[in-house]
Structure 1
Amino acid sequence: MNRAATILLPLLGALSILLVWQFVLPLLGVPAFIVPTPATVARKLVTDAGLLAANALPTALESVLGFLIGNLAAVLLAILFVYSRPIRAAYFPAVLFFNTIPILALAPIIVLIFGLGILPKIVIAAVICFFPTLVNMIRGLEMPTRSEFELFRILSASPFETFWRLRVPRSLPLLFTSLKISATTSVIGAIVGEWIGANQGLGALIIQSTFNYQTDRLYAAVITSSALGLLFFGSVVLAERLVMRRHPA
């Protein structure tokens, strides 16, 4: 498949879905108050641009801070687990158990502990980012082979040099894979936190629009949250290209 086809086919697919949504669903009798047409949602995106932007800002802040805190904690804990087998054996099962708790069940507990401010939303976003990065980072740091470690030992490399020049470059592809996942899930975590208790943010706007049967505004808020996730994802992809250019796999 040539490059033009890889670009045109997704565009044609998206266009066909929009055309079915715009013309076929109304013909099938789907009420507009349940599924508004793309034209109606597009008008709402324009008329409510200020409202959507005002609510997107706190969600973006919560997502970014949760992304940074969750992934930083995961990387640091992964390093600790790799260099200390007893600590890993003692605490990794607890981390695994914690990850099995659905985020919707965990969110009320976090809100109960941290209150109704911005902090619980950041914590929920951090929690949802944490485990994929932890697992991928552990695997990445353990990817070097025994012969590679032996080569660094022959070259009299210090433990820090072995870590920085061997383990870290080997872990970068897996790390960026998890960061790309976290870029979108951090938005999900922030919105879930806003569902539990907030008076601003895209999550709060989604809840308000649902209860008031403002489906055009509801769809506009969902599309805005999706655009936020795509923006974060694109930022991580750009960072990956810049870093991997200096440290090719």
Structure 2
Amino acid sequence: MSTAITSTPSAAEDPDVKSAGRGRGSVRGGARPLRALLPVSAALVLLALWEVGCRLFSVPQYVLPMPSDIWGSLNDDSALLMDNAWPTIVESALGFAVGNAVAVLLAVVFVHYRPVERALMPVALFIRTIPIVAIAPVLVIMMGNGYAPKVAIGALISFFPTLVNMVRGLQAVDKQSLELLRVLSASPWEVLFKVRMYASLPYLFSSLKIATGNCVIGAIVAEWIGSQQGLGYLIIQTTYNFNTPQLYAVMVIASAIAIVFYALVGTAERLTVRWEAKAP
């Protein structure tokens, strides 16, 4: 007697499952433009309310300019704004690079030499508690009015968040991985580059995102103290001249610089970190 064996299609071969999967993917793909559209729409609504409110209540321009006034300043003073934006961009980028590089190196030393961490971490914390506006004049007196004090302040303000997060990230290593490397007689450098660095990357990029805005703030604050160029210098000049639309235009440019830095760090994170960070 023969029996007929019938096979049911698997989930991967079932056309209904395939169509359902395509439907979910299309929904997710369609939701992405919507997520991007919502904040843009909210910003446009707020700008419209700002414009209408200023016109309705006849708010003086020197108190609060309308968005149309700020846009006009961005167009009319574009050459002046860009000439002063480039020094701030250079100072912020250099301060970001120097501060974070020193923080990463010091975090590696702290993880491998705990007495050094106990000795220097309170010093780093003490320096962090000093207001930047108090440190800036001292650095300007020591280093002059060039790029050096601006870079130093940008580095200082970026340094501490990266140091704390990097130390935590280097310590957030799976114990089984460490035991395996010890069994294999791995050197401390091999443990660092094969395990600890990978574990610290999510923590590092989180601190780098914070530092993107901090380094711009540090450069602008340093330009307030002593400079003949830069967005900080331009903020002082526009404040003295009561040129409020230009003042707001300078703030828009400064925010745009920080947003670009943040986007670059976010892109680097997406290209580098391709796994979920586990809580220590």
TM-score (norm: length of structure 1): 0.95
- Whether 1:206 aligns to 2:206 is no
Deviation at 1:232, TM superposition (A): 0.8
Give the unaligned 5+ runs of structure 2: 1-27
- Aligned-residue sequence identity (percent) comes to 48
Backbone CA RMSD of aligned residues? 1.5
Deviation at 1:248, TM superposition (A): 6.7
> Take 1:24 and 1:109, find their aligned partners in 2: how far apart are those partners?
44
1:42 maps to: 71
Deviation at 1:193, TM superposition (A): 0.4
Q: 2:168 aligns with which of 139, 147, 170?
A: 139
1:174 maps to: 203
- Whether 1:67 aligns to 2:96 is yes
Instruction: Determine which structure has greater relative contact order: mean sequence separation of CA pairs < 8 Å that are 6+ residues apart, divided by chain length.
Output: 1
Of the structure 1 ranges 109-118 and 223-232, higher mean CA displacement relative to structure 2 is found in: 109-118
Deviation at 1:110, TM superposition (A): 1.4
Of the structure 1 ranges 140-149 and 193-202, higher mean CA displacement relative to structure 2 is found in: 140-149
TM-score (norm: length of structure 2): 0.85
> Take 1:145 and 1:50, find their aligned partners in 2: how far apart are those partners?
53
- Whether 1:151 aligns to 2:151 is no
- 2:93 aligned partner, one-letter code: V
Deviation at 1:4, TM superposition (A): 4.0
- Whether 1:218 aligns to 2:266 is no
1:114 maps to: 143
- 2:261 aligned partner, one-letter code: F
- 1:6 aligned partner, one-letter code: R
Give the unaligned 5+ runs of structure 1: none
1:82 maps to: 111
> Take 2:34 and 2:147, find their aligned partners in 1: how far apart are those partners?
44
> Take 1:119 and 1:13, find their aligned partners in 2: how far apart are those partners?
40
> Take 1:14 and 1:160, find their aligned partners in 2: how far apart are those partners?
49
> Take 2:251 and 2:105, find their aligned partners in 1: how far apart are those partners?
33
Size of the aligned set, in residue pairs, is: 248
Deviations 1:158-203 (A, max 9, x none): 2211110100000000000001111111111000000111110011
Deviations 1:197-216 (A, max 9, x none): 11100110011001001111
- Whether 1:188 aligns to 2:217 is yes
